[in-house]
Amino acid sequence: MATPVPLNFQAGPIIWVDCEMTGLNPKTDKLLEIAVLITNGNLELVDDGLQFVIQAKKSALDNMDEWCKTHHGQSGLTQACLASPHTRDYVSNAVLQYIKRWVPERHTGVLAGNSVHVDRMFLSVEMPEVVDWLHYR
């Protein structure tokens, strides 16, 4: 792993995000889980990252489509959301503080991930302060 010092623009910080949701519509569906890894421009991890399961109401989970019900149920995510002590506000603050620890300058870390376009749409609705800290291009 890289030396544990904050990353500046020259280090090329990349904020890798992966989210799980109740569906694919950011207007009606909700975030269930978020994982974040931070690397420098050479793809060297700064640490082990973080991951949170977000507290969800049973009614939101009951309204998931069949794919989500099946897969989130089999993986244990549905039950983990019901049992989670972590509210969306708590998780949003924790994620932002984690990112700021490693990337203290706004618009320096680039948001990245496998399905980053969809994840960004959800983050823009549910965790706008996280998206506002990062750079998208």
Which residues are annotated as catalytic?
A: 136
Tell me the one-letter amino acid at 80. Answer: A
Listed in sequence order, the residues at least 6 apart from 65 whose beta carbon sits closer than 8 Å to its beta carbon are 23
Angle at 135 between CA 131 and CA 137, to 5 degrees: 125
For residue 90, give the H/E element and its range.
Answer: helix 88-102
Q: Tell me which residue has tokens 């280090």.
A: 11
CA-closest candidate to residue 41, choices 130, 101, 109: 109
